[in-house]
Amino acid sequence: MAAITAGMVKDLREKTGAGMMDCKTALSESNGDMEAAVDWLRAKGLSKAAKKADRVAAEGLIGVSSEAKSGAVVEVNSETDFVARNPQFQKVVAEVAKLALKAGGDVEKLAAAAYPGKTASVTDHLKELVATIGENISLRRTAALSVSDGIVATYVHNQAAPGLGKIGVLVALESTGSAEKLAEIGRQIAMHVAATNPLALKDEEVNPEVVERERAIFTEQARESGKPEKVIAQMIEGRIRKFYQEVVLLKQAFVINPDLTVEKAVKEAEKEAGAPITVTGFVRFELGEGIVTEKGDFAAEVAAAAGNQ
């Protein structure tokens, strides 16, 4: 069996909010596997952990750019939030976001693109910026959406400057309806995506591994009820349906009007737009998501420094 350290217990407690002894038991039952321990706590009803792993934010900016029928989003990272407030850095991210419209979501193509007014590529210009600003700066990722008819709506949350912020969203609406109405409903859906962070547009687009993981947890919870297998099967399917309602964009309760799902809100918008509207895709970038950074123990660092004096 893997050794369970105090640090592992602390990390699991911070991730799940469960009690220390429960975390220690979960790790023991899971042979030290952190993700399995999170699932164990959730199955026992001891954790309110999110369905997605905790994320440690890196610094920098998300940049968004759009034309009538296309939109792009980029993430450019820096070491500190101070740099993200630097007008020179902001200008560069905005230019990179514009270039991303032509890169079509290909980060390598974007990195190799010529930076406006320079003979250098985007990558080389960022290296020049490192020398000027004194911090490591990197282009991390990009994505793009387009439609044949309709619009790609955008939204930026925690905006630091026009088109720049901590969260950037694109929503593609295919329609021949009123451009004004499409822009209105598109922005509302983009705001909804920023707030709810859905996993997929439709049921069938949710990662099957995620669904099976949830099903396994629901199954264990249902079996602990002691009810007959037929009832348990119905309980599990009911929970899976609820899970889809929580994570699938079109099935979520619309944040602008919770009495409607997003799908029904789109249907309502069709009346004013004068034509059918189909949500064909969305992209949500949150600054630093998925980046793991080392967290130091400040108190320990101070104590160590005091001991060295």
Rounded-to-integer distance, Cα 181 and Cα 177, Å = 8
pLDDT band for position 300 (50/70/90)?
low
- Beta-bridged to residue 67, according to DSSP, are 70
pLDDT higher than 80, residue 295: no
pLDDT higher than 50, residue 245: yes
Rounded-to-integer distance, Cα 210 and Cα 261, Å = 22
Residue (of 164, 110, 180, 165) closest to 140 by Cα position: 110
In the prediction, which pLDDT does 298 show?
47
pLDDT band for position 294 (50/70/90)?
low
CB 275 within 8 A of CB 177: yes
Lowest mean pLDDT among 25-34, 55-64, 99-108, 209-218: 55-64
In the prediction, which pLDDT does 139 show?
93
pLDDT band for position 95 (50/70/90)?
very high
The residue ranges of every structural domain in the chain are: 1-49, 59-179+281-286
CB 217 within 8 A of CB 210: no
* Domain 59-179+281-286 fold: Tetrahydropterin Synthase; Chain A (3.30.479)
* Interacting residues of 112 by C-beta distance below 8 A, sequence separation 6+: 121, 122, 123
* Interacting residues of 150 by C-beta distance below 8 A, sequence separation 6+: 69, 172, 173, 174, 175, 176, 177, 182, 277
Neighbours of 92 (CB within 10 A): 23
SS3 18: coil
Lowest mean pLDDT among 51-60, 69-78, 112-121: 51-60
> Which regions of the chain does DSSP assign to beta strands (E)?
59-67, 70-78, 138-146, 150-157, 164-165, 167-174, 253-254, 257-261, 278-286
pLDDT band for position 208 (50/70/90)?
very high
* Domain 1-49 fold: Helicase, Ruva Protein; domain 3 (1.10.8)
* Interacting residues of 161 by C-beta distance below 8 A, sequence separation 6+: 90, 94
Q: Which is higher by pLDDT, 42 or 49?
A: 42
pLDDT exceeding 90 applies to what percent of the chain?
Answer: 55
In the prediction, which pLDDT does 100 show?
97
In the prediction, which pLDDT does 88 show?
93
